Structure 1
């Protein structure tokens, strides 16, 4: 076995260890939260990119300035990315955006691994902990100013649970999530200042239909199902009721829901949206010869007929070309930030700001080859997190002017 084959083998073994446990039948992959899907897809792509780079080839990803419009391995020599990336040593993220960068622990007391989830407030990070990958056992709050890690609640997994806690949504004072037993979706909630988690409702479903989105709307939990339909239930408990005009839709971010959902890779997600509070609708502009990969509430990401990548508003305005370079094919967070490979002292990952043209070094080097680590956003698109050695690095994008 040569060096490249050995590197590939080790990379794939690490990727396999990090992959979520496969679910029965067609459930595999489609019941992960959007955040989990982003992290695992990004890790797989960057792990592959690392292998190719180690082998002396090009990275795997979308080349914004050329004709490659889908992830593809290439055997040509590594291309020059840009004068900034290839000839100038980049400043690290913590120096470029010191007000936005900080770190968090990777383990909770007693040893279970922590995972960043979302910001509770301007200084407090919600983190999950569990001894088994994909199974959340406890929720914690980490204070970035003091370094204190506070236990919020244990996350129940009653006998008969087939899908463990996922789909976490929060509003600053409360957090909700779902689990599943055979034929029933269970909604749970807890106060973020501490206390026992409590069941909110159980909702019968057909077969393996399960939530593909969840959030909080005032005093209600709102969620949608993978087969379509948006529902709500009071946090205090009560009957689960369909949301008016939500039939067949998938929750993106309350009050916005739309079609298609994020589970079909052949169609761009959320090109059609409905505001379930006001009735406002939005259909993303797609011009002849373009390919749109995904849309959010305000913007879409795609490629033009010449293969160049762009991000723009849903109505087709304010289009920005994404500069040449290899990147993970995900929409830029907030239509502004995306990760890309950089070249200075070897394979590495940078964070690029489309608004200012700033490219900062995340510090990721050997982790790319060994774990496929890459910055990924939370569901709200406020923070990006990644792990280096014994700390999580957190970038609060809301604090970047």
Structure 2
């Protein structure tokens, strides 16, 4: 029964998550252009990690204009079109013999109707490290454009003269800043689960799944979901008899976390019930059956890591406490003791729409 139920729920989860790639159109866009330098695929990958769930990264046109002012003007024309919030490109600066390669990262965006131009210089011969450094700077400016005034220590803006006519960003008046609007999405989760604890019950493993909703506001995120799990059977044999029990569970979980880069770190609380169907056998071969629901509460830390705008990896550990101590008996003799406290760990994938 439980195996059929989880099959239906997993199929429903996949059906609900299928349209997620269409709803990606609601996200802002960061365009990666080129200007006399070959595209850097590593930079695109690094940006997809840094801005996972917040922006769509797209390859843009080649900025073939000869001088910086013309390139900046062309990039500013791209900003705002097709939800583009930021246009970036990387230029390699000729270096003297024996010196480390030097690169200039150019960023052009819009800040409350003003063109923002930022230039970041990096010197390194570590190509992978360069892409990560540049992606971090892009994420920093992206967040500044979306949520906060641009601080002078964060963005080295070009003056209008240096940008050949591009208008410098004007920070808003104090008190004018507005937090980004809350973002609501549906979530689905599927993964593995394991637990062991007190009593005579053995360790168990199985599949956990859930469907719910997520609300993200500023640097915080909360999730409320209906959960379920199907786990391995319990079996206990001694001289007084034998008990076999199949188990599934249902519940509701609440997760609260703070966002730091691609990670969301926080905690979870889950309440629910363990549903057990048991079969007992006496030493003489007599058989009896019984069922019960044992309520529980589980708490523990929670970590979620974004892989793409719509896919994340999640890991949980914690403690599950049964609110009723239950034992299965044969001829009034306890055989299978479920215990009261057990530790658990789980890990799996989380899908979000949109």
TM over 0.5: no
Greater relative contact order, per chain length (Cα 8 Å cut-off, separation 6+): 1
Q: TM-score, normalised by structure 2?
A: 0.24
Q: Quick check: which one's helix share is greater?
A: 2
Which of structures 1 and 2 has the bigger CA Rg? 2
Q: TM-score, normalised by structure 1?
A: 0.22
